[in-house]
C-alpha cells in the first residue's frame, strides 16, 4: 500500500423509479464480518466531484479504478466546464471519456440537481459517491435526489480534519469530533436520511492530477534549489511530528472496495495509509528521490508574520489516523 507519491520516492500506489439492483452475492442482513462478503459485479456509479481543492483529483482516480473493475461510471463535476477544464483534474477527463466515462458539469447544490442529472446522463444510478460537499446545506439536494431515486449506496468523502486535537494517537473512528465542522453535519444528515451510506475521512493526499499544489511541493522546491527545508519545532525535536501522507490511488481503492460491499453499510472509515512518517522523514524521502541532501532547519511558528498553513503544508502537531477498520471490514490493503 502506498504511503506517499510514487516514482522516485519508491512509494507507488498499491478503484423514473428506483434503479434496478445489480447486486450479486450473499447479503449480510445482521452484523458484519471480515473480508469481502457482498459485492456488485457491475454497478452504475455517479461520482459527484469538486472542481478544485485537495480532494478534487480523487474523482479522476476513482473513475479509472471503477471502470477497470467493470462498473459503469459517470462524473457530475461541480462548476462550469469552460473554467474547470483549464486545470487538473478536469483537464485530464479526456482520458476517462475514452474509456466510456460520461462527464457533465453543473451545480450539485441546486434544488434542480436531480433533473440536471437525468438530463445529462439519462439513467438511474446504483451508487452515488459524493466528493464535493462540505456542509449539510450543500449536500441536501443530492441526498434528496438519492432517496427519491432509490440509490442503493451513498458514499461520502469527509475529512479527518473534523477530529478534535488529541494527545492520543493515532486517531480512531469514534474519537471526539468538532461538532461545528460542516462534514460532521453531513455525516449526521446521512445517518438520519435512511440511505445506505458510508463516510470516508482522509488526511493528506498526494499523487498525479492534483488540483492544487501537492503537499510535497514545499519540500521538493527547497531541496532542488539547495535552500533550507524549514520545519516547525526546536533544534532538539525539529520535524518530529508524525503524520499520514496517502497516495490518491490508495484513497480511491478504499472507495472501490466499499462499492457493493455490505460491510461498508452505515460505517465511517479513516482512509489513510497504515504507515506514518515524521515531517523530517518526508524531507529526507524527498531528498532521496532527487539524489540531493535536505538541509533541515527549525523555526518557531509563532514568530511567522503569516499563518502557518500559508507557509508550511502540514499541521504543527501529530496528525495521523488508524485505517484498521477498513482493512478489517472492507479487506482494504
Q: For 303-318, how does the pLDDT look when each residue is reduced to its tens digit (9 = 90+)?
A: 888 899 889 999 999 9
Mean pLDDT of 30-49: 69
The 10s digit of each residue's pLDDT in 169-187 is 999 999 999 999 999 999 9
Q: For residues 299 and 316, what is the distance between their CA atoms, to the nearest angstrom? A: 11
Mean pLDDT across the chain:
90
In terms of CATH architecture, what is 7-211+244-275+320-329?
Answer: 3-Layer(aba) Sandwich (3.40)
Please report, for the chain, the start and end positions of each structural domain, with discontinuous segments joined by +: 7-211+244-275+320-329, 217-242+277-310
Mean local confidence (pLDDT), 203-216: 93
User: What whole-number distance in Å separates Cα of residue 266 and Cα of residue 209?
Assistant: 30
Please tell me the predicted confidence (pLDDT) of residue 59. Answer: 98
**Pair type for strands 38-40 and 23-25:** antiparallel
φ, ψ of residue 221 to 5 degrees: the values are -60, -40
What is the model's pLDDT at position 185?
99
The pLDDT value given to residue 213: 83
Pick from 183, 117, 188, 127: nearest CA to 152: 127
The three three-digit cell numbers of residue 22, written as one number: 445489480
Find out whether the peptide bond into 71 is cis, omega within 30 degrees of 0: no
Residue 91 grid cell: 483537464
pLDDT at 41: 73
Q: What percentage of the chain carries pLDDT values higher than 70?
A: 88
Which pLDDT value is given to residue 74? 99
DSSP string, 155-174: EEE--GGGBPP-SS-SB-TT
274 contacts 205 by C-beta, under 8 angstroms: no
Angle between helix 113-121 and helix 136-148 axes, rounded to 10 deg: 60
The model's pTM = 0.88
pLDDT mean over 227-244: 91
Average pLDDT of span 240-252: 97
213-217 CB contacts, 8 Å cutoff, 24+ apart = 214/5, 215/245, 215/313, 215/314, 216/4, 216/5, 216/245, 216/282, 216/286, 216/313, 217/313
What does the pLDDT look like over 138-166, one tens digit per residue? 999 999 999 999 999 999 999 999 999 99
Name every residue whose Cβ is closer than 8 Å to that of residue 179 and which is 6 or more positions away in sequence. none
Amino acid at each position: 500500500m502506498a504511503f506517499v507519491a510514487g516514482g522516485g520516492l519508491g512509494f507507488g500506489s498499491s478503484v423514473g423509479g428506483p434503479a434496478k439492483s445489480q447486486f450479486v452475492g450473499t447479503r449480510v442482513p445482521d452484523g458484519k464480518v471480515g473480508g469481502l462478503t457482498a459485492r456488485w459485479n457491475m454497478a452504475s456509479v455517479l461520482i459527484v466531484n469538486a472542481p478544485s481543492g485537495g480532494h478534487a483529483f480523487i474523482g479522476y482516480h476513482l473513475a479509472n479504478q471503477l471502470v477497470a473493475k467493470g462498473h459503469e461510471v459517470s462524473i457530475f463535476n461541480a462548476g462550469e466546464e469552460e473554467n474547470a477544464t483549464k486545470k487538473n483534474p478536469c483537464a485530464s477527463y479526456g482520458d476517462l471519456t475514452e474509456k466510456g466515462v460520461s462527464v457533465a458539469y453543473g451545480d450539485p447544490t441546486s434544488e434542480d440537481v436531480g433533473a440536471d442529472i437525468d438530463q445529462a446522463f439519462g439513467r438511474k444510478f446504483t451508487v452515488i459517491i459524493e466528493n464535493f460537499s462540505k456542509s449539510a446545506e450543500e449536500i441536501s439536494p443530492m441526498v434528496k435526489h438519492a432517496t427519491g431515486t432509490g440509490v442503493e449506496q451513498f458514499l461520502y468523502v469527509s475529512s479527518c480534519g473534523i477530529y478534535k486535537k488529541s494527545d492520543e494517537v493515532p486517531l480512531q473512528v469514534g474519537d471526539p469530533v468538532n461538532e461545528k465542522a460542516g462534514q460532521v453535519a453531513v455525516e449526521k444528515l446521512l445517518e438520519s436520511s435512511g440511505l445506505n451510506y458510508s463516510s470516508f475521512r482522509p488526511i493528506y493526499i498526494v499523487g498525479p492530477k492534483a488540483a492544487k499544489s501537492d503537499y510535497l511541493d514545499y519540500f521538493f522546491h527547497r531541496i532542488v534549489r539547495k535552500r533550507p527545508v524549514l520545519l516547525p519545532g526546536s533544534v532538539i525535536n525539529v520535524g518530529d511530528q508524525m503524520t499520514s501522507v496517502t497516495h490518491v490511488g490508495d484513497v480511491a481503492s478504499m472507495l472501490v472496495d466499499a462499492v457493493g460491499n455490505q460491510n461498508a453499510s452505515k460505517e465511517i472509515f479513516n482512509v489513510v495509509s497504515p504507515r506514518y512518517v515524521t515531517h523530517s522523514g518526508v524531507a529526507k524521502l524527498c531528498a532521496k528521490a532527487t539524489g540531493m541532501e535536505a538541509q533541515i532547519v527549525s523555526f518557531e511558528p509563532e514568530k511567522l508574520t503569516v499563518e502557518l498553513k500559508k507557509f508550511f503544508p502540514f499541521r504543527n502537531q501529530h496528525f495521523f489516523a488508524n485505517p484498521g477498520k477498513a482493512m478489517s471490514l472492507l479487506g482494504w490493503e
